[in-house]
Structure 1
Amino acid sequence: MKEPKSGDIWRYPYLWDWQAEQGEEDGRKNRQSLVLMAIAKDNQIYFLSITSQPPRPGQTRIEVPEMERRRAKLDDKRLWVVLEEYNRDSLTDSLYFQPDGYLGEFSKGFMKIIRATFAVQLRARKAKEVARR
């Protein structure tokens, strides 16, 4: 199995914050999700969702450039990385992580932009964590 690392794109049943608030525990479908961080020491992995839905007012999303979509082997349509929420899961005993779900990866340069923007969201307390278990 490929070990997930920052910048990887995996199929993952991402659980939206609104679904968790309604008591749901499973994501409704596998979607393209970005590994923001994989921390072996703490046994944690952090996912950001990738969506074809453009941002609405008040949402912070970064559009995925065409070159990054090709590099990561993603759909050939407009996509955005969602930065207003994220999933936290376990690296070793996740009920949701799929070891065969690797799709591709973003460049280090694009990840630098994503991490910097996400850090601003975290500091402003505008990114909600959805812990999986």
Structure 2
Amino acid sequence: MTNQSYEIKLGDVWRFPYLWKREERAGDTEGRKNRPVVLVLLIENSKGQQEAMLVPVTSQPQTGNPFAVEVPDIEKKRAGLDLRMDLWVVTDEHNIDTPRQSYYFEPSGRWVRSVPLSPKNCRRVKSQRSKPGNQRR
């Protein structure tokens, strides 16, 4: 289970076996691989346990998805993500887990540094990407 001394914070980026909606519809109960996810909401459930809402980070192009935000290079660097890859945070689906009771959040090197994916940073990336000549290939 998770190291109880670690302070769980909004904006943390973790590796997690994220279960996509399409995988769940196909009958899967766990994600097929560990991928980066961003912690976007923390609540306390009726049992007094902390629950985390996690949204996935993907390298699959998200053209046409208004609910996906490209991750700026500076944020990739802060989170220890691959700078050579285009990455998106997909916000129109999520998983929920209880980090303090979960076996998926192990502190043995699986933690990734916190990344502040602020609305300001996301707007800046969107405006840069919409300028002619700023599209990556």
TM-score band w.r.t. shorter chain: 0.7 to 0.9
Listed one character per residue, the Cα deviations across residues 84-122 of structure 1 (whole Å, up to 9, x for unaligned) are 100011233235333432111212xx334599xxxxxxx
Pick one of 47, 53, 57 that aligns with 1:50.
Answer: 57
Pick one of 6, 9, 12 that aligns with 2:10.
Answer: 6
Amino acid at match of 2:50: N
Q: 1:80 aligned to 2:80?
A: no
| Residue range with higher mean Cα deviation, 35-44 or 6-15 | 35-44
Match of 1:21 in 2: 25
Unmatched segments (≥5 aa) in structure 1: 116-133
The total of aligned residue pairs comes to 113
Counterpart contact for 2:72–2:121, Cα < 8 Å: no
Unmatched segments (≥5 aa) in structure 2: 123-137
Identity, % of aligned positions: 36
RMSD: 2.2
Question: Is the radius of gyration larger for structure 1 or structure 2?
Answer: 2
* Alpha-carbon distance in structure 2 between the residues aligned to 1:20 and 1:60: 20
Match of 1:97 in 2: 105
Q: 1:114 to 1:90 in 2, by over 3 A?
A: farther
Counterpart contact for 1:5–1:37, Cα < 8 Å: no
Greater strand content: 1
* Alpha-carbon distance in structure 1 between the residues aligned to 2:121 and 2:74: 15
Amino acid at match of 1:73: G
Give me the TM-score of the superposition, normalised by structure 1. 0.73
Listed one character per residue, the Cα deviations across residues 63-84 of structure 1 (whole Å, up to 9, x for unaligned) are 0001111111111121100011
Q: Secondary structure at the match of 2:94?
A: strand
